[in-house]
Amino acid sequence: MSAAAKEKLIFAPKDGQYATSTLTSTDLSPSPLTQFHTWYTAAQSHAIHQPETTTLSTAHLPSGRVSARTVYLKELDTRGFVVYSNWDTSRKAADVASNPRAALTFHWREMERQVRVEGATERLTEEESQVYFDTRIRGSRIGAWASRQSVGIEGRDVLEGWVREVEERFKDQEKIPVPPFWGGLRIVPDYVDRPSRLHDRFAYTRDSIDSDAWKIQRLSP
């Protein structure tokens, strides 16, 4: 074995052949949002574990450093894809503040399907975020207030102390207001791509996020 080969900790792991289905442009909805809803519903019926799981990618300017993390899609509306988080102290908050664009990647392994979304970001209003916030269990609502996401702390006892402070603050309140620094972020797409090992790959593009006219184009894999 060569010295170069010995240095590789992982090399060419085995993969399978992907041949579940094919895709043509006539199979697609004119809107990527309705098409995504169709695929998401199919993923649910295939018993795929948490098909709302997605990778949210952001990039900071001017450095251009990219970061990614796994989050859950919580809403899909006629404008875009919505995730919820801390938008004050987190790294993604700093990224979006400097560069208001983001990308989502969904991978549904059992269906051999991947969907990529790129677009501009916009914060939901406090009223919109409150609607979702009210569906969370009390502990999650307390945690949203207590967490200084991504801030360094000396130990878990610091976090637990913040939680106790918030619990005391809201001890007699069932209705907890959504924190001003926490809420929904909508990714308004201008590009949606369905890449595939099947070599059936299509992209939705539009000239602006305010346009209802989408162009569907087959791409080379």
Q: What is the pLDDT of residue 9?
A: 83
Q: Please report where in the chains the tokens 């099947």 appear, as a residue.
A: 198
Q: Is the pLDDT of residue 62 over 60?
A: yes
pLDDT interval class at 2 (50, 70, 90): low
Q: What is the pLDDT of residue 206?
A: 93
Secondary structure (DSSP) of 10-46: S---------S----GGGS-SSHHHHHHHHHHHHHHT
In the chain, the domains with their CATH numbers are 29-127+182-219 (2.30.110.10)
pLDDT interval class at 17 (50, 70, 90): low
Q: Is the pLDDT of residue 196 over 70?
A: no
How confident is the model over 18-35, as a mean pLDDT?
A: 78
Q: For residue 147, give both structure tokens.
A: 């967490």
Closest CA to 178 of 123, 113, 116, 96: 123
Phi/psi for 220 (5° steps) reads: -70, 135
Could you read off the pLDDT of 32-54 as tens digits, one per residue? 999 999 999 999 998 899 999 99
How confident is the model over 168-172, as a mean pLDDT?
A: 92
pTM assigned to the model: 0.85
Q: What is the pLDDT of residue 28?
A: 85
Q: Is the pLDDT of residue 143 over 70?
A: yes
Q: Is the pLDDT of residue 131 over 70?
A: yes
Of all residues in the chain, the percent with pLDDT exceeding 70 is 91
Q: Is the pLDDT of residue 204 over 90?
A: yes
CB 70 within 8 A of CB 85: no
- On average, the pLDDT of the chain sits at 89
How confident is the model over 193-208, as a mean pLDDT?
A: 78
